[in-house]
Amino acid sequence: DLEHIIHPKVSEAINKEVRESYDPYVIIMVPLLIETGYNKFVNRILVVDCALDTQIKRLINRDQETHESAKKIIGHQIEQKNRIKMAHDVIDNDMNTTIEDLENRVRKLHQFYLELSGK
């Protein structure tokens, strides 16, 4: 199975990057973080979240997916309420969220992560 070949190599690459980093903290962007089990390798989980209808619209626009294929893709993900429950931090990125709102939330999280790292 392709997953069994790819995941160990991805894990190895991520671990190498983290070990060699001199930054106060590292953010790893992993699609399906919880579903693939990568969540056990991180200290905190940050979820960027939006409503299901927004997620479908964005998939259709970004990837030219059909409505049905977008729903199928989303169907492979952990349910939103469970994803939020497992998150330590959440950024709301719904249609009514402004760029300023996002920037403020990211700045606050950055400061918080620096404090957590002792920097």
Highest mean pLDDT among 12-16, 21-25, 92-96, 107-111: 107-111
DSSP category for residue 48: E
Residue 110's pLDDT band (cuts 50, 70, 90)? very high
Q: How far is CA 68 from CA 4, 55, 60, 71, 90, in A?
A: 28, 13, 10, 5, 27
Q: Is the pLDDT of residue 32 over 80?
A: yes
Q: Is the pLDDT of residue 24 over 90?
A: yes
Nearest in space to 84 (alpha carbons), one of 52, 116, 114: 52
* Whether the Cβ atoms of residue 94 and residue 101 lie closer than 8 Å to each other: no
CATH number of 2-117: 3.40.50.300
Tally of CA atoms within 13 A in the half-sphere of 109 that contains its CB: 19
Residue 8's pLDDT band (cuts 50, 70, 90)? confident
